[in-house]
Homo-oligomer: A and B are copies of this chain.
Amino acid sequence: MFSKSCEYAIKAVIHLCIETKDGSRLSIAEIAEAIDSPEPFTAKILQTLVRHDIISSAKGPGGGFYIDHHSKPVFVIEIIDVIDGKHAFERCGLGLKECNEKRPCPIHNEFASYSRKLKRLLETKTIQDLAKGIISGKAFLSNT
């Protein structure tokens, strides 16, 4: 469904959303630990998210990553767009070069209906929404 990078990205932003509400910062190591991801690889992904203004970072002692809670909420789709690229949802389920109504594959109708709904969901859900599940103890970012 999503690339590994994208999975880590979503989890990282959820974690940051929860842990940096108070203005504190988290290091790469702390984030990687929490979301059970390889540290240097996670670093790359965080860099990308910073470059696209989805999260913020500060260098030096006491620095780290955080999300600015005065700015507007982050829609899950924004992260997907940045990491996996827009068009992630416009691909044919059977791998035709392009998915379109004019020349669709045999599963296009059913398939496109599902992926449209899923996309709609990710366009309306925010990271802040997902964070609630973690805070309430009903959802988790790792399982071992």
Contact = CB atoms under 8 A, between A and B. Distances in A.
Interface residues of A, number: 40
A58 interface: no
A95 interface: yes
A11 B94 contact: yes
Interface string A109-141: 011001001100100010000110110001111
B143 A106 contact: no
A96 interface: yes
B1 A93 contact: yes
Given A14-B106, A117-B114, A130-B107, A7 B144 contact: no
A80 to B, nearest CB: 11
Nearest to A7: B95
Nearest to A2: B93
A105 B76 CA distance: 14
A59 interface: no
A30 interface: no
Given A106-B14, A114-B118, A118-B114, A96 B142 contact: yes
B110 A143 contact: no
A103 interface: yes
A1 B115 CA distance: 10
Nearest to A132: B106
23 contacts: A1-B1, A2-B93, A2-B94, A4-B95, A7-B93, A7-B94, A10-B94, A11-B94, A96-B142, A96-B143, A97-B143, A97-B144, A103-B140, A103-B143, A104-B138, A105-B139, A105-B141, A106-B134, A106-B141, A107-B130, A111-B118, A114-B114, A114-B118
